[in-house]
């Protein structure tokens, strides 16, 4: 069987097949797989990309202290992280501003407070 593969690799058909595989890479390259830089991106919202480092900082700030991070906890933190980033984008899109006075009024109106 190995001899048949060697014989085929020396034939003109193998060279044509190899040329068909190589030609797209010569003219179009690998596309965006090397240039996009999306390997360390956790989430992309519109044109903003949030990296693993952003998510790691979020986990250090809001994650449970002295507790092992299970997949359920990481999943919950990821959902919270994405939710926070979406809310920030909505604040930017609608140009909302939350002042200390308006925040104080919102807190005072809560029944739990």
In this structure, the dihedral spanned by the alpha carbons of residues 66, 69, 75 and 78, taken in order and rounded to 10 degrees, is: 60
Measure the CA–CA gap between 105 and 101, rounded to whole angstroms.
6
Give residue 111's pLDDT: 85
pLDDT of residue 106: 87
Q: What is the mean pLDDT of residues 44-72?
A: 88
Q: Mean pLDDT over residues 78-93, rounded?
A: 93
37 pLDDT tier (thresholds 50, 70, 90) = low
CB atoms within 10 A of CB 78: 15
Identify the H or E element spanning 44.
Answer: strand 41-45
Q: Are 23 and 29 in contact (CB under 8 A)?
A: no
Find the mean pLDDT for residues 42-67: 89
């Amino acid at each position: 069987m190995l001899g048949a593969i060697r014989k085929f690799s020396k034939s003109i058909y193998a060279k044509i097949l190899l040329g068909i595989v190589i030609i797209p890479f010569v003219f179009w390259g690998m596309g965006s797989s090397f240039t996009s830089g999306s390997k360390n991106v956790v989430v992309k919202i519109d044109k903003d990309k949030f990296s693993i480092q952003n998510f790691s900082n979020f986990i250090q700030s809001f994650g449970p202290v002295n507790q092992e991070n299970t997949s359920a906890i990481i999943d919950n933190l990821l959902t919270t992280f994405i939710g926070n980033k979406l809310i920030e984008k909505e604040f930017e899109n609608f140009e909302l501003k939350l002042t200390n006075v308006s925040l104080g009024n919102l807190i005072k109106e809560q029944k739990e407070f």
